[in-house]
């Protein structure tokens, strides 16, 4: 037996240390809140090398023996140079400012440390998770037999959805040897879809060319005509069209595929319809824009990332299915965990029967806190606010001769490109590319802003992903002004390099 320790924060969480634990949570949460409140910039521009040295210098075999010292050390190693998603000038990726109730829930779920695999590790927690799955599936209109499970993220949700699609197809073709069927299955998705679809296909043992990319229209929505052609071509080639993945909110453009038309094609060609609403799911809470998801109710499976447009801390995602029996494809019964007789003896089945994970966090609690404290309408309003902001920024940039905008945003991303003033200069695509890259790197290196970029028809474009509705348009315009100034400098530097005969140099490499 361990000696009777004094109840401090440096021990296991037991009844004796529960108060010390609560105080410790307040301590670390306070340090994080103070750092967040004090962050003048979204990022300091810290470089990996010095930070890496500082982390490497820590002697992990020589503990500090004091939580406050640990917090101070982490402030130096991380918080001081953290990337702050709430900051008005963080507009890079699909990271949201988080709902306060959800953060409070994080502390609670870690304290209790429920694991949502079985009833005997979670009890009411799994009832709360199930209620939220039902609620979300109902909002999506998936019908009375719907079910689903919380996952770690959209990547995992997409993997599970495609696993179910694959196994439904294999089950429908018992006459085909499995190995042969696997090489012939085809999944159709648009060129604007998320890379996790491709990775899922690889993990599921499908052929390297199993994911058929369907081209998009000018608004970056899947072309349904092209989908039909691709499906027919694959069938003619002797392959087995299995699933179509529609994206409700593409990562780059926020474009929403023509869900109803895609559903018609899926129906006509007997394809599993998966709707990847990792980004667009927040529309389920919107009073004014829910109609943008019309057609999602016809999906066989849906991915929702609460940690994107429901303002939840990472991780919080779910995969939903229209027909709960399809989840049997991930069910394996183990005597030591979830024997078949559990459902009968306890009157409730185990959540692990529906999940790719075993031990699993109670992430659902965060959404529960949020919905119960703030309400779904408020969540929807917040997402609507971000969408309005993106529309306003796009309008503004369209009037600004320094920029060109890729598409009118449907959700909250704005993809745009800086252009030099002289028309002739604009023909120099490589130098314009380099100037846009340099501008993005410069604002990051100087800690002025964090901005993303992407490629559009081979060209480099800048991207704002706006998920903070409390930001003002003026603040976003300021970031655009900074970007334009850096891009101009880089473009001019590029001209000097060319005229001084330094061939092949990229202006982007010159950024400090």
Ligand X SMILES: *Cc1c(COP(=O)(O)O)cnc(C)c1O
Decide whether 191 or 377 has the Cβ nearer to ligand X.
191
**Minimal distance, residue 305 CB to ligand X, in Å:** 5
Decide whether 194 or 431 has the Cβ nearer to ligand X.
194
Q: How many angstroms separate the first and last alpha carbons of the chain?
A: 57
**Minimal distance, residue 255 CB to ligand X, in Å:** 10
Decide whether 276 or 493 has the Cβ nearer to ligand X.
276
Q: Give CA–CA dist 37/209, Å, rounded.
A: 48
Decide whether 239 or 251 has the Cβ nearer to ligand X.
251
What are the backbone dihedrals phi and psi of residue 365, each rounded to the nearest 5 degrees, phi first?
Answer: -60, -35
Decide whether 7 or 313 has the Cβ nearer to ligand X.
313
The alpha carbon of residue 61 and the mean position of all alpha carbons in its chain are separated, in whole angstroms, by 36
Q: Tokens at residue 142, please?
A: 């998936």
Residue 300 DSSP code: S
Q: Which residues of 483-504 are buried (b: 16+ CB within 10 A; e: fewer)?
A: bbebbbbbbebbeebeeeeeee
Q: Give CA–CA dist 107/74, Å, rounded.
A: 18
Decide whether 276 or 297 has the Cβ nearer to ligand X.
276
**Minimal distance, residue 150 CB to ligand X, in Å:** 12
- Ranked by CB distance to ligand X, the top (closest) residue is 154
Q: Tokens at residue 348, please?
A: 């409730």
**Minimal distance, residue 196 CB to ligand X, in Å:** 5
Q: Give CA–CA dist 390/409, Å, rounded.
A: 7
Under a CB-based contact definition with an 8 Å cutoff, are residues 181 and 358 in contact?
Answer: no
**Minimal distance, residue 29 CB to ligand X, in Å:** 24
**Minimal distance, residue 247 CB to ligand X, in Å:** 5
The alpha carbon of residue 436 and the mean position of all alpha carbons in its chain are separated, in whole angstroms, by 25
DSSP string across 231-282 = HHHHHHTT-EEEEEEEEBS-TTT--B--HHHHHHHHHHTT-EEEEEETTGGG
Q: Which positions lie near ligand X, rule CB under 6 A?
A: 94, 153-155, 158, 194, 196, 247, 251, 276, 278-279, 305, 317
**Minimal distance, residue 50 CB to ligand X, in Å:** 29
Decide whether 156 or 351 has the Cβ nearer to ligand X.
156
The answer for residues whose C-beta is within 8 angstroms of residue 424's C-beta and 6 or more apart is none
């Amino acid at each position: 037996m361990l000696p009777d320790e004094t109840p401090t924060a440096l021990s296991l969480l037991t009844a004796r240390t529960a108060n010390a634990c609560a105080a410790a949570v307040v301590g670390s949460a306070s340090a994080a809140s103070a750092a967040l409140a004090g962050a003048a910039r979204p990022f300091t521009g810290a470089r990996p090398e010095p930070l890496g040295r500082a982390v490497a210098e820590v002697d992990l075999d020589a503990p500090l023996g004091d939580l406050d010292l640990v917090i101070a050390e982490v402030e130096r190693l991380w918080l001081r140079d953290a990337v702050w998603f709430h900051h008005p000038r963080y507009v890079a990726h699909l990271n949201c400012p988080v709902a306060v109730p959800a953060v409070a829930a994080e502390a609670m779920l870690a304290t209790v440390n429920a694991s949502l695999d079985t009833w005997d590790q979670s009890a009411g927690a799994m009832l709360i998770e199930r209620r939220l799955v039902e609620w979300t599936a109902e909002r999506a209109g998936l019908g009375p037999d719907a079910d689903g499970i919380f996952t770690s993220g959209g990547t995992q949700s997409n993997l599970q959805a495609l696993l179910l699609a694959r196994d439904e197809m294999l089950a429908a073709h018992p006459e085909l040897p499995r190995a042969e069927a696997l090489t012939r299955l085809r999944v159709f998705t648009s060129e604007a879809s998320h890379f996790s679809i491709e990775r899922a296909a690889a993990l599921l043992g499908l052929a390297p060319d199993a994911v058929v990319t369907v081209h998009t229209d000018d608004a970056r929505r899947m072309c349904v005509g092209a989908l039909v052609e691709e499906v027919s071509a694959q069938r003619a080639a002797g392959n087995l069209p299995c699933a179509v993945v529609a994206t409700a909110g593409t990562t780059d453009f926020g474009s929403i595929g023509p869900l109803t038309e895609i559903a018609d094609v899926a129906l006509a060609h007997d394809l599993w319809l998966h709707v990847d609403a990792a980004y667009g799911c927040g529309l389920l809470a919107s009073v004014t824009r829910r109609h943008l998801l019309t057609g999602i109710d016809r999906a066989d499976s849906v991915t929702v990332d609460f940690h994107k447009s429901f303002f939840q801390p990472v991780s919080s995602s779910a995969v939903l299915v229209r027909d709960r029996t399809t989840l049997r494809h991930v069910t394996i019964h183990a005597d030591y965990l979830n024997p078949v007789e559990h459902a009968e003896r306890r009157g409730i089945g185990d959540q692990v029967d529906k999940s790719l994970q075993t031990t699993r966090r109670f992430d659902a609690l965060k959404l529960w806190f949020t919905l119960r404290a703030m309400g779904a309408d408020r969540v929807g309003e917040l997402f609507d606010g971000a969408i309005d902001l993106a529309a306003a920024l796009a309008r503004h940039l369209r009037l600004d001769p320094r920029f060109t905008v890729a598409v009118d945003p449907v959700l909250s991303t704005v993809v745009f490109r800086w252009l030099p003033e002289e028309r002739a200069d604009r023909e120099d695509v490589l130098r314009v590319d380099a100037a846009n890259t340099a501008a993005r790197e410069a604002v990051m290196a100087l800690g002025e802003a964090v901005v993303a970029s992407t490629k559009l028809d081979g060209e480099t474009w800048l991207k704002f992903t706006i998920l903070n509705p409390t930001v003002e348009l003026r603040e976003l315009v300021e970031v655009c002004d900074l970007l334009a100034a850096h891009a101009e400098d880089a473009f001019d530097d590029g001209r000097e390099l060319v005229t001084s005969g330094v061939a092949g140099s990229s202006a982007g490499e010159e950024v400090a």
